[in-house]
Amino acid sequence: MNHQEPLTLYKLIILYVLNQVTFPLTRAQISDLFLEKEYTGFLTVQQAINELTQSGLISAKALANRTHLQITAEGRDTLSYFENRISDTIKAEVEDYLKKNELEMREESSIRSNYYRAVNGEFETELIAMDKEVPLVTIRLTVPTKELAISICDNWQKRNREIYQYLTTELF
């Protein structure tokens, strides 16, 4: 088997995974599936994701420390032509994995944070909680340092539930 064949299969599996979910997945979430199922190593998954992105079969949106991936219409077309190359065993393993981890994966993808340098030199953070692609809450904070912005984004990832609950309790 030449080197290209397994990579092609990994790309098809990634398209299959992204086609099974109704929310974006992160690079890490896709890597976790591949590593847990021992399909291939981390770097090969990253290479497959990069090639899929470059060829427009998946879209990648960078948000702070995460990249959200979604299948494109072209990706769906490609998958429909070549899906038969993915064994039923692998399809069943993917579906089982997604069933077990969907809630956690969906939650991780619905909590978004980003930061960028503002024109005045300070840093803007944007914290978002989504529900099925509808923003439930968006918080913008301006802070003096990049380190503080990163810390705020990390804390939002970890504590968004408590923060959201506090806001709704206080405001409603």
Residues 6 or more apart whose CB falls under 8 angstroms from that of 51 comprise 7, 11
Residue 71 structural domain: 4-105
Question: Residue-wise pLDDT tens for the chain (172 aa)?
Answer: 344 578 899 999 999 999 998 888 888 899 999 999 998 888 999 999 999 999 999 999 877 667 889 999 999 999 999 999 999 999 999 999 999 988 788 777 778 888 889 889 999 998 888 776 677 888 999 999 999 998 998 888 888 888 888 888 888 8
Q: Pick from 34, 83, 31, 74: which is nearest to 53 by CA?
A: 74
* Number of domains comprising the chain: 2
Both 26 and 90 in one domain: the answer is: yes
CA angle (121 as vertex; 118, 122 as ends), nearest 5: 70
Rounded-to-integer distance, Cα 106 and Cα 1, Å? 36
Give the pLDDT of residue 122.
93
- Report the SS3 class of residue 148: helix
CATH number where 72 lies: 1.10.10.10
- Report the SS3 class of residue 11: helix
Give the pLDDT of residue 27.
87
CATH number where 166 lies: 3.30.160
Strands 123-131 and 134-143: antiparallel
Boundary of a domain, candidates 105, 135, 163? 105
